[in-house]
Amino acid sequence: METQAFMQSEEVRRFNRELAELDLGPLWSAIPELACKEPTTGAIPYLWKWETLRTKLMEAREIFTPDRGGERRAIYLQNPGLKDRQPWGWGCATPTLYAAVQLILPGETAPSHRHTQSALRFITQGQGAYSIVDGERLFMEEGDFLTTPLGLWHGHAHPGDEPMIWMDCLDIPFIYALGGTFFEPHPDHIEPPSRPDDHSPRRYAGGLVRPVSDRKAQTAPLGAFKWEQTRSSLDSLSQFEPDPHDGVAVEFLNPSSGATANPNIAAWMQKLPAGFRSKAHRHTHSTIYHVFRGSGCSIINGTRFDWSEGDYFVVPGWAWHEHNNEGSEDALLFSTSDLPIMERFGVEREESYPKNGGHQEITGHFEPKTL
């Protein structure tokens, strides 16, 4: 009998049911799903408009406050293709990463806690609030990137006078999948400072050097990477040919160890100069983008996704993608990905799009949900 037909036969189906009742299962039936040539996680390419996010966030400010429960006033991005994952479907922007926008208002406090998930933040609007990480108050400004690897106490407070909004990214789905989630609230609600304010970024305000006391590898000797320096790096790197896939791209690093600033989640800042058109490629790691400045579009598996300042979009693993900036201003994209995890397990691969000079044919146009 033909394999396909055989597998559908009553004999086989009855046997499989008997196995299921015994909490056993037939590998032979599962092989087609297992023997997939490439990763298929269900995650789809997707985009969320800033206008939508901002509106819901402002509505939420009326309804929720951090001390009314919930720890943080944050709205996360839900990849529709991962929504039905059980038991952990919520909060997956990609199979391994959670991403959200968080809003904190003057006078508010988000209590301190620590956990085995790694976190990072990219500040998109406002100033005056701080994160207190491991006893260090880091005052946040637009364009700043903060890293809070696993295990460090962290909380937020806002002694300033304007609303602050930032992007959060954590490896919650990944650590959950491992069965490695541990969480602990701080006994003092919000951790008190034990070091000078902005201690680490002030110690690291120039060049590729480290204070001698940080030579021994530490998790996060530098908690915040100020925008001024990141911008300055991009300006310098812009003197040269952009990378054909990534444009002018830098990665935040841990000055003690040379690893990515957050050990599980790579964080990049990319400039797509006005008129830049990248070549498509695909890779095992998935990426979450935030459009910091400018506008443009990305073609993902043939579908065009237009984006502008404030938007978020996801490129799932192994999806062909290319970015275009057809405008007259440079575009800046902040992104997070699980590239370090893929590398650590030896499953990272990359391929360049083989046809048409590296440019996909556009077969669809994504329409984002609006209010």
By C-beta, is 157 or 267 nearer to a copy of itself?
Answer: 267
Measure the CA angle with vertex 132, ends 128 and 138; round to 5°.
50
**Among residue numbers 215 through 244, which ones bind a copy of itself (CB under 8 A)?**
215, 217, 222, 225-226, 228-233, 235-237, 239-240, 243
Could you tell me the smallest distance in angstroms from the CB atom of residue 94 to a copy of itself?
7
Token pair for residue 84?
């039905």
The strand pairing partners of 307, in sequence order, are 296
Omega before 149 within 30 of 0, i.e. cis: no
* Cα-Cα-Cα-Cα dihedral sign, residues 145, 151, 152, 158: positive
Pick the binder of a copy of itself from 13, 17, 18, 352 (CB under 8 A): 18
Choose the binding region for a copy of itself from 133-141, 196-204, 274-282, 291-299 (rule: CB under 8 A).
196-204
Pattern 32-51, a copy of itself, x by CB under 8 A: --xxxxxxxxxx--x-x---
Nearest residue to 124 (alpha-carbon basis) of 108, 101, 147, 105: 101
By C-beta, is 41 or 125 nearer to a copy of itself?
Answer: 41
Token pair for residue 50?
């800033």
Could you tell me the smallest distance in angstroms from the CB atom of residue 160 to a copy of itself?
22
Pick the binder of a copy of itself from 3, 328, 355, 361 (CB under 8 A): 3
Choose the binding region for a copy of itself from 135-143, 204-212, 287-295, 297-305 (rule: CB under 8 A).
204-212
207 binds a copy of itself (CB under 8 A): yes
Pattern 290-309, a copy of itself, x by CB under 8 A: --------------------
Pattern 77-96, a copy of itself, x by CB under 8 A: xxxx--xxxxx-xxx--xxx
- Measure the CA–CA gap between 261 and 224, rounded to whole angstroms: 10
69 binds a copy of itself (CB under 8 A): yes
Pick the binder of a copy of itself from 161, 162, 188, 251 (CB under 8 A): 251
The strand pairing partners of 154, in sequence order, are 113, 133
- Measure the CA–CA gap between 180 and 196, rounded to whole angstroms: 33
Residue length, the chain? 371
172 binds a copy of itself (CB under 8 A): yes
- Measure the CA–CA gap between 31 and 25, rounded to whole angstroms: 12
Strands 364-365 and 303-308 come out as parallel
